[in-house]
Amino acid sequence: MFNNKVAIVTGASSGIGKETALRLGKGGASVALAARRIDRLEEVKKQIEALGGKALCIEADVSKRDDCKKIVEETVKAFGKIDILVNNAGIVDKHRPITRCDYDWWDEVVNIDLTSVFNITKEALRYMEPAHYGRIVNISSIGGVYGNSGAAYSASKAGVIGLSKNIAIQYAGEGITCNCVCPGPTPTELNTPDKIATFDEEFASKCNKGMNTDLPFADVSDQAAAICFFASDDARAITGQCLVVDQGWTL
C-alpha cells in the first residue's frame, strides 16, 4: 500500500508513533523515525527492517525549530522526497486548568504540541508542493475537539485542528491533503496510571463529566489504522477532516 512512499513519523520511539511507523514500514514505505531517544528509535528501525522495510533514525527535539528543519532535510537527503508526514510527537499537560497552568508550562506544551506541527509541516511543504503530492496527518486529541483536557493541551490540540483545516484549504485539489486523527484515551507511555496520578484530579473529574468512562479504551493499533488510512491513496479525496478514535468515549 505504501510501496515507493517516503514517510516521516515524529515521536516514533513509542506508543502511537511507533505503531504507525511499523505499519507504514510493513506496507512498503521508507520511514524516517524522529524523536529524542535514539536508542529507542534504533529498535524500531530494526523491527521495520525485519519486516522488509527501510528506516532512518533522526535524533530530534521537536520543540526546537532547527531540529524540525533537520528532520525534513535528513529525510530528503536519505530518501529523496517526502510523501507522508505524521506529526505525532506530543506530551500531555496533566489536566491543569488555566488558573493552575503557569507560563512556562503553557510555553512548553504549546511548543511541543502545536508549534512543532507548524515548523515541520512548513519545511515539508517545500518538497511536497513542487511534487504536487503530500499526505499530512496531524495527531490532535479529543481534548482538541471537546476542550476536556488541560488548558494548554486543549488549546494546542484545537490549534492543530485549525492549522490542519487551513493547510487543507491552501492545497485543496492540488494533491496534498491534511487531516487529523483525534485519539481518545489510549494506553501508551503518555497515559499510564503513574502519569494519570500526576493529573489535576479536581479538574480532570470535571473534564470527564458526561464521558462514557466505562467503555474500553482504543489501542495503538486502532490509532495507527486511522492514521495510515489518511496517509494512503484511498483517502486522496479527503482533506481538512478530523477523525475521533475513542471507542465512543465522548458520545
Q: How far is the CB of 35 from ligand NAD (least distance, A)?
A: 4
Q: How far is the CB of 222 from ligand NAD (least distance, A)?
A: 11
Quick one: cell of 191? 497515559
Q: Is 13 in the site for ligand NAD (CB under 6 A)?
A: yes
Q: How far is the CB of 136 from ligand NAD (least distance, A)?
A: 14
Q: How far is the CB of 127 from ligand NAD (least distance, A)?
A: 21
Distance CA 16, CA 48 (A): 15
Q: Is 17 in the site for ligand NAD (CB under 6 A)?
A: yes
Q: Phi first, then psi: what are they for 35, rounded to 5°?
A: -175, 180
The reply to whether 103 belongs to the active site is: no
Q: Which is nearer to ligand NAD, 139 or 155 (CB)?
A: 139
Candidate residues 2, 29, 183, 211; the one interacting with ligand NAD per rule CB under 6 A: 183
Q: How far is the CB of 137 from ligand NAD (least distance, A)?
A: 11
> Which of the residues 127, 133, 146, 153 is marked catalytic?
153
How far is C-alpha 181 from the chain's CA centre?
Answer: 8
**DSSP character for 240?**
S
**DSSP character for 80?**
S
- 34: part of which helix (H) or strand (E)? strand 30-35
Q: Is 36 in the site for ligand NAD (CB under 6 A)?
A: yes
Q: Is 121 in the site for ligand NAD (CB under 6 A)?
A: no
Q: Is 233 in the site for ligand NAD (CB under 6 A)?
A: no
Distance CA 160, CA 156 (A): 6
Is the sign of the CA dihedral 87, 90, 95, 99 positive or negative? negative
Q: Phi first, then psi: what are they for 110, rounded to 5°?
A: -65, -40
Q: Phi first, then psi: what are they for 56, rounded to 5°?
A: -135, 135
Contacts with ligand NAD in 40-79 (CB under 6 A)? 60-63
Asked whether 182 and 223 are in contact (CB, 8 A), the reply is: no
Region near ligand NAD per CB under 6 A, out of 34-42, 96-104, 125-133, 170-178: 34-42
Region near ligand NAD per CB under 6 A, out of 1-9, 23-31, 44-52, 84-92: 84-92
Contacts with ligand NAD in 100-119 (CB under 6 A)? 112
Q: Is 228 in the site for ligand NAD (CB under 6 A)?
A: no
- 137: part of which helix (H) or strand (E)? strand 134-139
| End-to-end CA gap in the chain | 32
Distance CA 85, CA 149 (A): 26
Region near ligand NAD per CB under 6 A, out of 126-134, 188-196, 204-212, 224-232: 188-196
Binding site for ligand NAD (CB under 6 A): 11, 13-17, 35-37, 60-63, 88-91, 112, 139, 141, 183, 185-186, 188-191
* Catalytic residue numbers, as ranges: 153
